[in-house]
Amino acid sequence: MAVENLRYRYADGSEALRGISFVVEPGERVALIGPNGAGKSTLLLHLNGLLPERPAELSAVQICGALVMPENFSKVRKNVGLLFQDPDDQLFCPTVFEDVAFGPRQLGVEGDALNAKVAAALAQVGLAGYENRLPHHLSRGEKRRVCLAGVLVCEPAVLALDEPTTDLDPRGRRELKLLLRRLPAAQLIATHDLELVVENCTRAILLDRGTVIAEGPPTALLADEQLMLAHGLERPHILQHLQHQHRHD
Ligand code: ADP
């Protein structure tokens, strides 16, 4: 995945992205951190062309070698699994089964093969047997897991995850982190969960006001207290634990 000088202004004139550039290599897990309004969600929506762009900006994002532009949308969307920040924006079917089955159906999977894929994806997110449940009756955490199942079921090469651990209980967070570490997909994860950043990601990108402020190994970036505070974040407690551990090793 490559993003080059991506700029985006919403219709009301607010400038959300002011020239963002970075690359995520296949299999790499990169965290996108930054305060509210930094542009994280806007950036993720660009990865599969969900925001209308002006022609000059069409070539700013490349996924698996294809530019994100209308003629490539079907190829791009096969390769990118996007988890929306709000599960209610993602779930639109009457049952959990139909929601998770939507992606594979688009790819022509039907019958027993489809049932097996949906069952496996639900089991992956800890929701085995939820096929006949109604999405709008689920808790926020369960909804988020269903959305994730709907993304994972297509086995995309690139995962773009917006706040994947929000609403999850501690066990759910632990299991999700383990699951994400095992997946071969390249991952770009927008999150305020600094434990997720430290435990799962090989690199972190700090975004503020639509620009990349800093980039580097998560522990180095997050340990810089001044930098964190200047951009509405904090130095996570988990780093203290890690440093204590190193001292005792
Ligand atoms: P983050 O995900 O880092 O919190 P966002 O990408 O949601 O940041 O927002 C980036 C900027 O774009 C903010 O200033 C926000 O107010 C603005 N913004 C987001 N969505 C819209 C929208 N639909 N219309 C106008 N402005 C928006």
Instruction: Provide the CATH number for the domain around residue 225.
Output: 3.40.50.300
Q: Which residues line ligand 1 (CB under 6 A)?
A: 10, 12, 14, 16, 34, 36-42
Cα 187 to middle of ligand 1, angstroms? 21
> What is this structure's pTM?
0.93
Cβ atoms of residues 177 and 199 within 8 Å? yes
d(CA 70, CA 170): 40
d(CA 219, CA 168): 24
Give the pLDDT of residue 54.
59
Radius of gyration of the chain from its Cα atoms, rounded to whole angstroms: 18
Give the E-state strand segments of the chain in sequence order. Answer: 2-9, 15-23, 29-33, 61-63, 66-67, 80-83, 158-162, 186-190, 203-208, 211-216
Total domains in the fold of the chain: 1
Residue 31: φ, ψ to 5°: -95, 140
Residue nearest to atom 12 of ligand 1 (CA): 16
Burial of residue 240 (CB within 10 Å: 0-12, 13-18, 19+) is exposed
Task: Give me the tens of pLDDT residue by residue for the chain, a chain 249 residues long.
Answer: 999 999 999 989 999 999 999 999 999 999 999 999 999 999 999 998 888 765 544 568 999 989 898 888 889 999 999 999 999 999 999 999 999 999 999 989 999 999 999 999 999 999 999 999 999 999 999 999 999 999 999 999 999 999 999 999 999 899 999 999 999 999 999 999 999 999 999 999 999 999 999 999 999 999 999 999 999 999 888 787 665 555 444
Structural domain of 161: 2-248
Cα 243 to middle of ligand 1, angstroms? 36
